Amino acid sequence: MIENQSNSIDNKENDISDQDNAPENAPSSENPIIENDEIPSLKTEDVNTEELKNSISNNDARLEQLEKEHETLKNQYVRISADFDNFRKRQSRDQDDLKIQLVSKTLTAILPIVDNFERARQQLKPESEEAQALHRSYQGLYKQLVEVLKQQGVAPMRVVGQQFDPNLHEAVLREPSEEFNEDFVVEELQRGYHLDGKVLRHALVKVSMGPGKQNSQEEVEKDKVEVDIDSEENTSEDV
C-alpha cells in the first residue's frame, strides 16, 4: 500500500514536470475557435450594412411616392374647395335672383293699384264735406301703400326733362317741342319704378322731336333734295 502511494506521488510529479516543460509559445486550443468566430461576424456586418442600404433606398423611394401622393391630394383639395366656393356663391346668387323675381312679380301686380290712386287724385275734386272726407280717406290708404312700397325698396322714376334711355323708358309717342331738344322726355304717361336700383317697371313716356320749325325746315330741305335727285335720274334716262 505504501508502494502504491509512492507510485501515485511519482506520477503526479511527472505530470507537473511535463506541464513545466511544455513550450510557452505553444498555441492554445481556444485561439482557433476565437478566430473562426470573427469571420462570421464580419460577414454578418456586411450583410447588415447591405440590408440597411436597401432599406434606406426603399424608404427614400417610398417617401418620394408619398410626397407625390400628398401633392396630388393637395391639388385635388384645392380644386374641390374652389369648386365648392363657386357653387356656394352661385347658389347664393341664384337665391337672391329668385327672391328678387318673386318680390318683383308681387310688386308689379300692386303697381296698377297705385296708378289708379294717382289718377283718382288728379281727376277728382271733392267739393262737399262728405266727398272731402272720402277723398282724405283713400288718400290715407294711398300714402300707406306708397310707404309700404318704399320700405320694400321701390322708388319712382323722375323722367320728365331727362334724355330718352331705352333701358329706363318706353317711348309711346313722339312730337315736336319748343321746350325740349330732340330725344328728351316731354311727358310721363305712366310712372316707372326702380327696385333696389334695378328697373321694376319701365316708364311710358312721350319723347320730343325737337323744335317744330326746325323740323319743318329740315323736311323741306329733304324734300327738295329728293326732287333734285329724281330730276337728275329722269334726265339721265332721257339721254
State the pLDDT at residue 237: 43
- Distances 77 to 9, 72, 82, 183 between C-alpha atoms, Å: 97, 9, 8, 57
* SS3 sequence of 13-32: HHHHHHHHHCCCCCCCCCHH
Mean pLDDT, rounded, for 208-213: 78
Residue corresponding to grid cell 300714402 = 143
Say if residue 18's pLDDT is above 90.
no
More confident residue, 27 or 119: 119
Average pLDDT in the 202-223 region?
68
Which backbone phi and psi does 156 adopt, to 5 degrees? -75, 150
Residue 115 makes CB contacts below 8 A (sequence gap 6+) with 190, 191
Is pLDDT of 188 > 50? Answer: yes
174: β partners:
207
Whole-angstrom distance, CA of residue 237 vs CA of residue 230:
11
Name the residue with cell 460577414: 43
pLDDT band at 198 (very low <50, low <70, confident <90, very high): confident
Bridge partners of residue 170, in order along the sequence = 204
Query: Whole-model pTM?
Result: 0.53
**Mean pLDDT confidence for 30-44:** 52
pLDDT the model gives residue 33:
44
* pLDDT mean over 211-231: 51
Q: What are phi and psi of 171, to 5 degrees?
A: -75, 125
Give me the mean pLDDT over the 125-148 stretch: 82
- pLDDT, residue 34, reads 44
Q: For 49-91, what is each residue's pLDDT tens digit?
A: 877 778 888 888 888 889 889 999 999 999 999 999 999 999 9
Q: How confident is the model at residue 225 (pLDDT cuts 50, 70, 90)?
A: very low
Q: What pLDDT, on the 0 to 100 scale, is given for residue 10?
A: 53
What value does the mean pLDDT take over residues 16-45? Answer: 50
Please state, rounded to an integer, the average pLDDT across all residues of the chain: 76
